[in-house]
Structure 1
Amino acid sequence: MQESNNAKAIEMSNPSKGPSKTAETIAMVRVGESRRPEDERICYDPYAIRFISQNVLEFATCNPEKYRAFLAQSERLVPGVSNSIIARVRYIDDLVNSSLSDGLEQLVILGAGYDTRAYRIEGLKNIKIFEVDQPATQKIKVEKIKEIFKSLPSHVTYVSVDIGIDKLDQRLLENGYDRSLKTLFIMEGLFMYLPAGIVDETLSFITHNSGRNSAIVFDYIPESVVDGTCELEAGKNWRKGLMDVGEPFLFGIKEGEIETFLTQRGFSNVQNVTSKDYKTAYFFGKNEGRVMNSLLSFAYAVVE
């Protein structure tokens, strides 16, 4: 019964089963940051622009004032969201690099969307990587990667999975995932779009099917944003905006409970990174005045 409810919730969140609109929006944020001067940008993604649809690029090029007005309106509705997304990219990039130095053997990117780490972080070319995503988005991803590199890289395995409908463990294992290796699982911009039951199933799979000192990293929002009780205008606007495009928030964590949430599910060494933390870490000097979104936090933890 739980599995049926989970599947129904996911189908309702993306009824068209088309490619993720959010994945393209996030890529567009990376494009904007990558165009900043080198001494100012927080992250750099030379491939992000290749995942933006032609009609969006043409609109931005031919109607620069309208496009800037659109971005300004988005920022007014949910202040700091783009900067927090940029901080998320940088935080996970830094974590991947430190994990490589610490003996990382395998990387799994769940809900990979248009993530480009496998192609732009040099050390990952020697690591077996699994990019897991729903078929419609992954189809576009694979087509674009072929266009960019003329062929698919040998170190990346693309695993098409409708999380909550298909069996994640079965699909990963039949595609060569090695449960004995030290693995980092990236869930960037994923959990908030999944029902709580699927989040639990995913975390359970990780704790029971990964090598010693494997770890997870993901971002999350307060439960109040999901259920509509958030009193902040930004929370209300963010929730409504995603409902309007058919990709609503489905999961959040009560404020102050991230450590309890993860330790109860078999993780330790929990690190909670709030907007104040990543503001201090990345936004100083020329970037000191940039506003953060206080509703988006990051979490890292190690499998016990």
Structure 2
Amino acid sequence: MEKANNTENKMVEIGEKKKGSSLTAENVAFVRALESLKPEGERICYDPYAVRFLSPQYAMFMEMAAHNPSKTPFPGVHNSLAARVRYFDDFLKGFVDDGLEQLVILGAGYDTRAYRIEGLRDKVRVFEVDQPGTQNVKMEKIKDIFGSLPDHVTYVSVDFETENYGQRLIEHGYEKFQKTVFIMEGLIYYLEPKAVDDMLSFIVKNSGTGSAIIFDYVYKSSIDRTDGICGIKCKACDQNEIKNGIKDMAQHGETQKFGIMDGMLESFLIQRGFSHVCSVNSKDYKKAYFHGVNESRPVCCRSYFAHAVVK
């Protein structure tokens, strides 16, 4: 899945969900594709393949947006998701240049980093891990784009709630002593707390020196609220839209279940065997990416990113 920060649920549901695949995976591909329509000096992220993962309903909206790319639906959410893609891309590129040996994308959805990040194909073995329905759709799309599945990518089908994803990784050739980056983009808040703990435990016990994780998260207070929203008043966050989007995603089996206690990210990760913890909020990535022509673009205050190194 490229399951995303729960703000991405704000994307309007247009058409029926592909059989067995993740609706959030297509929502985020839509954001990447729409951002990629913008001129090079204006777009926050770029993904030439994202449009190939869109259903006819999404493609219709893309065609309309092509005539006026500045008219972005739900701009605060869109901009935060675009910033998330860019931040994760930049983080990964730094590791590729510093001797990365393996990349594991957990909840891969329609993530295209294995095919568009320079250096991965020649230097790094990539494992894309997700539920079977989404994986099957993804693999067919990749074959349509490239003619065949690339040799440097291994596709691992798993149900994170009921199966041992670590064991499945090892069965598919994962090397636990190699330097590895684990990307969990739009994933952990859809899992039960035990599944999150099991995931992090595997990473700590089965990663080489210098390995790292990067993910996005929400506060537990957002999950615990009966209305499902954060309660923060923010011009970029239409709380009613977020609330309704969360309900829509829950109806499609993608319910938010896990959040980190407010202000406790560092202790949460240190207790689980990580160090060099870094948290990134909307002010941070607004300052990093939204300059010049993009300065007035709003971002959503509910979107947090984090990364850390295995001790």
Which of the five TM-score ranges fits, normalised by the shorter chain?
0.7 to 0.9
- CA distance in 2: counterparts of 1:51 and 1:288, whole angstroms: 30
Shift of 1:58: 3.3
Match in the other structure for 2:6: none
Shift of 1:103: 1.1
Which of these residues, 131, 135, 160, is aligned with residue 128 of structure 2? 131
- CA distance in 2: counterparts of 1:274 and 1:56, whole angstroms: 29
Match in the other structure for 2:36: 34
Match in the other structure for 1:254: 261
Match in the other structure for 1:121: 117
1:239-278 mapped onto 2 (5 Å cutoff): 239-245=243-249, 246=252, 247-278=254-285
- CA distance in 2: counterparts of 1:59 and 1:80, whole angstroms: 18
Cα distance change, pair 185–100 in 1 and its aligned pair in 2 (3 A)? same
CA deviations 1:109-131 (Å, max 9, x no partner) are 00000000000012100210000
Partner-residue secondary structure (3-state), 1:80: helix
Structure 1 unmatched runs, 5+: 1-15
Match in the other structure for 1:197: 194
Check conservation: 1:106, 1:181, Cα contact below 8 A.
Answer: yes
Percentage of matched positions with identical amino acids: 55
Shift of 1:243: 2.3
Match in the other structure for 1:13: none
Q: Write the letter of the residue equivalent to 1:120.
A: R
Check conservation: 1:239, 1:249, Cα contact below 8 A.
Answer: no
Check conservation: 1:186, 1:217, Cα contact below 8 A.
Answer: yes
Match in the other structure for 1:96: 92
1:284 lines up with 2:291 in the alignment: yes
Check conservation: 1:228, 1:239, Cα contact below 8 A.
Answer: no
- CA distance in 1: counterparts of 2:183 and 2:162, whole angstroms: 20
Check conservation: 2:213, 2:309, Cα contact below 8 A.
Answer: yes
Shift of 1:253: 1.3
Partner-residue secondary structure (3-state), 1:294: coil
Check conservation: 2:180, 2:208, Cα contact below 8 A.
Answer: yes
Match in the other structure for 2:12: none
Match in the other structure for 1:8: none
Match in the other structure for 1:146: 143
Q: Write the letter of the residue equivalent to 1:195.
A: E
Partner-residue secondary structure (3-state), 2:307: strand
Shift of 1:201: 0.6
CA deviations 1:114-167 (Å, max 9, x no partner) are 000000012100210000000000100000000000000000000001112111
Partner-residue secondary structure (3-state), 2:60: helix
Shift of 1:271: 0.7
Which of these residues, 44, 48, 51, is aligned with residue 49 of structure 1? 51
Check conservation: 1:228, 1:236, Cα contact below 8 A.
Answer: no
Q: Write the letter of the residue equivalent to 2:264.
A: E
Shift of 1:28: 0.3
1:180 lines up with 2:182 in the alignment: no
Match in the other structure for 1:168: 165
Which of these residues, 107, 111, 128, is aligned with residue 107 of structure 2? 111
Structure 2 unmatched runs, 5+: 1-17
The RMSD of aligned alpha carbons is: 2.2
Shift of 1:56: 2.6
Which of these residues, 207, 210, 214, is aligned with residue 211 of structure 2? 214
CA deviations 1:167-191 (Å, max 9, x no partner) are 1111000000000000000000001
CA deviations 1:254-281 (Å, max 9, x no partner) are 2211101110110000011111111111
Check conservation: 2:52, 2:141, Cα contact below 8 A.
Answer: yes
Shift of 1:237: 4.0
- CA distance in 2: counterparts of 1:162 and 1:268, whole angstroms: 28
Cα distance change, pair 61–101 in 1 and its aligned pair in 2 (3 A)? closer
Q: Write the letter of the residue equivalent to 1:255.
A: D
Partner-residue secondary structure (3-state), 1:216: strand
Cα distance change, pair 17–301 in 1 and its aligned pair in 2 (3 A)? farther
Which of these residues, 287, 299, 302, is aligned with residue 306 of structure 2? 299
